[in-house]
């Protein structure tokens, strides 16, 4: 079997909030690039990448350039292909950035092909540790909402059966620490003590702010506090992690596998979050998960639950899947949630099929 052809398409997907219907700004869209990698045996693997922002045209070109280098290759020899792509482009790109985002789309499509060729779902190919995984609602309880909106959104998520959900602090404007604390308590009060509540800071605090505010809310019982300061300040993160009882999560902004070694060796986080696109695809994601396991650390996913559910389920230290609904509409069907857990699909590969009508509607 050989790769025969490919097709990359840029889409602009509405930035709405299908979970609780609390969109921040109506009409805003997010660019994503989808890839179809076709073999001479008729199998089509699909991949996706994002974060191109105003350089999405460049990212699209990078996906096409790398995909062209895969034509004629055996899609089951994924590490050989990854090495070829690196060798062909090393002087043009840094260790992260557009190369890695584009590589991710290719790697995901190759794993989809492998699953389809072997008639096995991806989560089983990668280790198959569990056939159900916890998931948490993300993207609804944002910092821009009023207290009343946040409470309402939390209640909608509970009604939908979520047992875990994430909110945000580092509120807009110049809030006092007391205002930050009040907000997370409002959300906790709305959901009660037994729901797992995470809170994302999105790198907006200084380490000393994180220790100050974090120590005032230890009794809120957060499941984790995420990206409390600049993601590459490994020593600053380690200081916060050592100072607080609340577990600290981070890693979604970390590129490739080697920076994770530095982050983990510094004991910067209690929970390692791995982004599929920034790490460079399924192959690299699993390597970081293995590295975290060796350090007795759990791993969690970032966005794209429809794909990441396979990876979190595959590894023994997978903790929970971020249910961020950005791209769910692109597919005819995505994994079901039962009693707050995602059910792993039986279909081969990713088990996903593009909804062609939706793709046509969102095409850039």
**What residues numbered 276-305 form the site for Mg ion, per CB under 5 A?**
none
112 vs 226, beta carbon nearer Mg ion: 226
107 vs 227, beta carbon nearer Mg ion: 227
Binding segment toward Mg ion, per CB under 5 A, in 6-14, 18-26, 193-201, 284-292:
193-201
44 vs 252, beta carbon nearer Mg ion: 252
CA-closest candidate to residue 199, choices 169, 239, 240: 169
Helix (H, G, I), strand (E, B) or coil at 355: coil
Does 322 sit near Mg ion (CB under 5 A)? no
Cα 328 to Cα 324: distance, rounded to the nearest angstrom: 8
Mark residues 143-182: x for contact with Mg ion by CB under 5 A, - for none.
----------------------------------------
CA distances (Å), origin 323, targets 7, 34, 308: 28, 20, 10
CB atoms within 10 A of CB 189: 13
Binding segment toward Mg ion, per CB under 5 A, in 114-122, 195-203, 263-271, 330-338:
195-203
Binding segment toward Mg ion, per CB under 5 A, in 17-25, 199-207, 212-220, 320-328:
199-207
Give the nearest distance from C-beta 210 to Mg ion in angstroms: 14
Does 200 sit near Mg ion (CB under 5 A)? yes
43 vs 210, beta carbon nearer Mg ion: 210
Give the nearest distance from C-beta 230 to Mg ion in angstroms: 13
195 vs 300, beta carbon nearer Mg ion: 300
Binding segment toward Mg ion, per CB under 5 A, in 56-64, 106-114, 130-138, 192-200:
192-200
17 vs 200, beta carbon nearer Mg ion: 200
Cα 201 to Cα 229: distance, rounded to the nearest angstrom: 8
**What residues numbered 98-127 form the site for Mg ion, per CB under 5 A?**
none
Binding segment toward Mg ion, per CB under 5 A, in 24-32, 64-72, 194-202, 352-360:
194-202
In the block, residue with structure tokens 């995505």 = 334
44 vs 200, beta carbon nearer Mg ion: 200
Q: How many residues bind Mg ion (CB under 5 A)?
A: 1
Give the nearest distance from C-beta 262 to Mg ion in angstroms: 20
Residue 92 region, left (φ>0) first, then alpha (ψ -120 to 50), else beta?
A: alpha
Most distant CA pair in the chain: distance in Å? 62
Give the nearest distance from C-beta 26 to Mg ion in angstroms: 23
224 vs 234, beta carbon nearer Mg ion: 224
Give the nearest distance from C-beta 118 to Mg ion in angstroms: 34
Q: In the chain, which ranges are continuous DSSP H helix?
A: 56-70, 78-89, 98-117, 122-125, 147-159, 177-191, 207-216, 234-243, 258-265, 276-279, 282-294, 305-314, 356-362
Calculate the dihedral angle through the C-alpha atoms of 156, 160, 162, 167, rounding to the nearest 10 degrees. Answer: -20
200 vs 233, beta carbon nearer Mg ion: 200
Give the nearest distance from C-beta 134 to Mg ion in angstroms: 17
Binding segment toward Mg ion, per CB under 5 A, in 173-181, 196-204, 241-249, 255-263:
196-204
CA-closest candidate to residue 281, choices 262, 300, 256, 302: 256
Cα 62 to Cα 33: distance, rounded to the nearest angstrom: 11
CA distances (Å), origin 206, targets 30, 133, 227, 267, 270: 29, 33, 11, 18, 18
Residue nearest to Mg ion (CB): 200
Cα 332 to Cα 321: distance, rounded to the nearest angstrom: 20
Interface residues with Mg ion (CB under 5 A)? 200
């Amino acid at each position: 079997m050989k790769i025969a052809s490919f097709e990359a398409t840029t889409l602009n997907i509405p930035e709405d909030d299908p979970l609780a219907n609390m969109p921040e700004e109506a009409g805003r869209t997010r660019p994503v690039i989808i890839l179809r990698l076709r073999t001479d045996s008729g199998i089509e693997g699909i991949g996706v990448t994002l974060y191109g922002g105003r350089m999405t045209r460049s990212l699209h070109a990078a996906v096409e350039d790398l995909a062209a280098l895969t034509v004629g290759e055996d899609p089951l020899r994924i590490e050989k292909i990854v090495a070829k792509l690196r060798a062909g482009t090393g002087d043009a790109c840094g260790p992260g950035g557009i190369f890695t985002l584009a590589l991710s789309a290719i790697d995901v499509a190759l794993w989809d092909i492998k699953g389809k060729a072997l008639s096995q779902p991806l989560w089983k190919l990668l280790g198959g540790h569990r056939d159900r995984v916890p998931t948490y609602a993300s993207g609804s309880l944002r910092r821009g909402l009023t207290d009343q909106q946040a409470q309402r959104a939390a209640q909608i998520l509970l009604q939908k059966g979520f047992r875990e959900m994430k909110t945000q602090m580092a509120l807009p404007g110049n809030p006092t620490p007391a205002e930050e604390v009040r907000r997370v308590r409002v959300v906790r009060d709305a959901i009660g003590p037994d729901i797992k509540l995470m809170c994302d800071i999105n790198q907006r605090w200084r380490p000393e702010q994180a220790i100050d505010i974090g120590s005032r809310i230890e009794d809120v019982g957060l499941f984790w506090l995420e990206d409390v300061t600049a993601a590459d300040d490994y020593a600053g993160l380690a200081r916060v992690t050592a100072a607080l009882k609340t577990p600290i999560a981070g890693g979604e902004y970390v590129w490739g596998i080697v920076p994770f070694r530095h982050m983990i060796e510094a004991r910067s986080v209690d929970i390692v979050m791995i982004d599929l696109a920034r790490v460079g695809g399924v192959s690299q994601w699993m390597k970081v998960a293995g590295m975290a396991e060796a350090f007795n650390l759990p791993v969690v996913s970032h966005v794209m639950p429809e794909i990441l559910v396979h990876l979190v389920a595959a590894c023994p230290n997978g903790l929970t899947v971020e249910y961020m609904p950005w791209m769910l509409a692109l597919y005819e069907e995505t994994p079901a949630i039962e009693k707050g857990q995602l059910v792993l699909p039986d279909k081969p590969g990713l088990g996903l099929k593009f909804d062609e009508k939706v793709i046509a509607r969102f095409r850039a």
